Homo-oligomer: A and B are copies of this chain.
Amino acid sequence: MDESKPGRVAPTRATISDVARQAGVSIGTVSRVLNKARNVKPALQRRVLDAAAALDYRPDSFAQGMRSKKTHVIGVIVPDLRNPLSSEAAAGVEEELTQQGYSFFLANSRYERGREENILNEFARRRVDGIIAILARDQDPRTVEQLRRLPMPVVLLEREIGTEFDAVRTDQVQGTYRATRYLAALGHRRIALITVPTDNMSGRYRFQGYAEALADVGTEVSADLVHMGGYTRDYAVNAAYSVLSMRNKPTALIVSGGMLPGVLDAMRQLNLSIPDELSLVVLGDTELAALTRPGITAIRYDWAQTGRVAARLTISRIGGSETPPERVIVPYEFILRESCQELAPGD
């Protein structure tokens, strides 16, 4: 019925046979011209190209995918769309993929394993050429098993599973080590840590850097200063609240970027000021850290860069690269602001 509507252009797209007819050749020839263009006389080639242009022909990606098994689509799975890690990484992936002619599905697991499983299944069903994943948990054997079964290359972002998958990550160990040593150099010894659980790489490596730095200055990790039990803002608020209202409270605090809002919130409630009453370093720089007053000293991670690297790596795997799994580590940057203070000897 639409066909007859006067004002409406018929919505039927030209197919390859339309082009073939218009150019007076077989569809096979059209396909050959449009793809490799081998063994076709220049004259014919022109005719085909002209016909295709005239008809505004675009190959149907479903027919292509059906036949050639290549979709030029990559699946990207993140745990929390609103977290800067996710959005920055997605932005980096986007930059690189677009440039290389790929599209991508974006999916959000919300840190739920069930969702993650469904998403991976859906990606497989949709025959994505590759997957870039920031997993909720990288130690769950079911997840690992599912990844192993996937017929397309998988690149992990900010996560690690043994050495069998490509992985791109920021240097959380060194970054956190540096943050801790920086505070220690200012005289702090009671340094609290609020970040994500150890069931993914970020938490594990952050704790490792923290613990190593403390050990190097001859201090032991004190369990009551470490809160690594959740991902949410509420968790951060509660953790900060409880650690900052201890009788013998810490003089410094290291918090991950996604939890900074919660910590600032708690500090406001407790009416604690930075840096007089608490020195603060954030793992992962954000606009909030940069622009709040005083500015928060930060370990900056270039997540967009990890995204770009992961995208390039994925594409090279799709291209058939068979080298052993890579492990790329993107360095951190230390951003000095005004949130830390030398500890007065008496404190």
Closest to A291 in B: B264
**Could you give, for residues 36-63 of chain A, a 1 whenever the CB lies within 8 Å of some chain B CB and a 0 otherwise?**
0000000000000000000000111111
Binding stretch for chain B, among A120-128, A193-201, A202-210, A248-256: A120-128
B105/A105 in contact, CB under 8 A: yes
**A90 part of interface (Cβ distance < 8 Å):** yes
Q: Which residues between 141 and 191 of chain A lie within 8 Å of chain B, taking CB atoms?
A: 149, 151
Q: State whether B103 touches A104 (Cβ < 8 A).
A: no
Across-interface contacts of A71 in B (CB, < 8 A):
62
Contact among B94, B127, B287 for A62, CB-based, below 8 A? B127
CA distance A226 to B163 in the complex (A): 56
- Chain B CB within 10 Å, residue with most, of A107, A122, A126: A126
Counting CB contacts under 8 A, is A344 at the interface? no
Copy tally for this chain in the complex stands at: 2
Chain A residues 81-103 with CB under 8 Å of chain B are 81-82, 87-88, 90-91, 94, 98, 103
**Within the assembled complex, what's the spacing in Å between the Cα atoms of A191 and B125?**
55
CA–CA, A295 and B69, complex, Å = 53
Having A98-B108, A104-B106, A288-B291, one finds 9 other A-B pairs with CB under 8 Å, namely A11-B151, A61-B126, A62-B62, A62-B126, A73-B126, A82-B88, A103-B107, A268-B293, A288-B292
A residues sitting closer than 8 Å to B (CB atoms) are 9, 11, 13, 58-63, 65-66, 71, 73, 81-82, 87-88, 90-91, 94, 98, 103-108, 115, 121-122, 124-127, 149, 151, 261, 264-265, 268, 287-288, 290-293
